[in-house]
Amino acid sequence: MSIRFSKGCVLSAAVLLLGTVALAQDPSSSGTPVQSPSPSTSTPAKPPTVAQRKENQQDRIANGVKSGQLTAGETANLESKEAAINGETRADHAANGGKLTQSEKQQINKQQNQLSKQIYTDKHNANTAHYGNNEVGQRRENQQDRIAQGIKSGQLTAGETAKLENQQRGINQQLKADRTDNGGKLTPGEKKQINKEQNAASKNIYNKKHNAKTQGTTKK
């Protein structure tokens, strides 16, 4: 009789112990509700605005000019396209009370996507700006650095940059032709002429960087 009682006591004690352990391991037993994993609170990033997209494209072009990845001709072509997009944007704004419709935004974004691909292609092709370790080459590089800074700062509009780079392209083509005619060298007279043209280009860069026109403003 006592033996059966002892076994029963042992069994009851074991059940009690297991129950206590189970309660200790169950977080809901403490009265504190179990927190389910909270849903993600992150929201998708907003697409860049038309103005932000334009600024980003100009920064990429400026970096390409500064690094020499973009030649004067490539830069002039890119900036001409950017100027056309800007002109269309201004016209759309004017026609809609200063705003863009959803379809106009989509159209401008499509055009900027195409320009973005062109910037990448031009910066990663085999064409690069070679200046040469001489006085003429240093002058060319200095002019391009000033243009790049103007693009980056917004002092130069896309249209102004296109004109400046077309001017530089003309000088570069003349320089190449002169060297071809003289076995890779320039005569003193040719150097003097190139320097005169670069002086004119330098004044042009200064004037366009210090006029009232800046990126984001409408030309009058």
pLDDT tens sequence across 67-101 = 999 999 999 999 999 999 999 999 999 999 989 99
Which is more confident, 32 or 129? 129
Predicted pLDDT at 218: 41
Strongest mean pLDDT among 2-6, 29-33, 65-69: 65-69
Mean of the pLDDT values across residues 157-178?
A: 96
Mean of the pLDDT values across residues 102-112?
A: 94
Helix residue ranges, H only, the chain? 2-25, 50-67, 72-95, 102-123, 135-153, 158-181, 188-209
pLDDT at residue 24 greater than cutoff 90: no
| Count, residues in the chain | 220
Predicted pLDDT at 112: 95
Cα 26 to the center of its chain, rounded Å? 54
pLDDT at residue 193 greater than cutoff 70: yes
Mean of all residue pLDDT scores within the chain: 84
| pLDDT band per the 50, 70, 90 thresholds, residue 46 | confident
pLDDT at residue 23 greater than cutoff 50: no
Q: Which of 65, 92, 97 is nearest to 79 (CA)?
A: 65
**CB-based contact 62:157 (threshold 8 Å):** no
pLDDT at residue 39 greater than cutoff 50: yes
| pLDDT band per the 50, 70, 90 thresholds, residue 130 | confident
**What's the Cα-to-Cα distance from 15 to each of 19, 25, 26, 29, 214, rounded to whole Å?**
6, 16, 17, 18, 83
Cα 118 to the center of its chain, rounded Å? 13
| pLDDT band per the 50, 70, 90 thresholds, residue 5 | very low
Mean of the pLDDT values across residues 99-119?
A: 95
Which is more confident, 18 or 100? 100
Mean of the pLDDT values across residues 146-174?
A: 96
CB atoms within 10 A of CB 211: 12
Within 8 A by CB and 6+ apart from 95, the residues are none
Predicted pLDDT at 1: 47
pLDDT at residue 215 greater than cutoff 90: no
